[in-house]
Amino acid sequence: MKAQELIDRGFIPKGLSGEYILSQDKTTIIVILGRYEQIEIYTDGCLQEAHPIDHVRHVDEICYIHGFKYKIPSNE
């Protein structure tokens, strides 16, 4: 998975650690890239779920389940 794919979906890079954040209301989704790629879902700052991911489409699916709507780039 590439960082640009997340940025194209509205995720914001957080520092140099490979974390990308998307927030809506009280829910925050963090995607961590690197050796062990995973997605974490927080509500009111508390971790609710964490899942390993292997493709940006998996990120799209989890975000959709949690009510995040964004435009998926047409080149994918």
For the stretch 9-47, pLDDT in tens is 999 999 778 899 999 999 999 999 988 899 999 999 999
- DSSP lists the bridge partners of residue 50 as 40
Q: Say what the pTM is.
A: 0.88
Around Cβ 36, how many Cβ atoms within 10 Å?
A: 8
| 69: Cβ contacts below 8 Å, ≥ 6 apart | none
Q: Are 22 and 7 in contact (CB under 8 A)?
A: no
CATH, domain 3-65, list 2.40.30, 3.10.450, 2.40.50, 3.90.930: 3.10.450
Q: Two tokens at 35?
A: 């050796």
pLDDT band at 72 (very low <50, low <70, confident <90, very high): confident
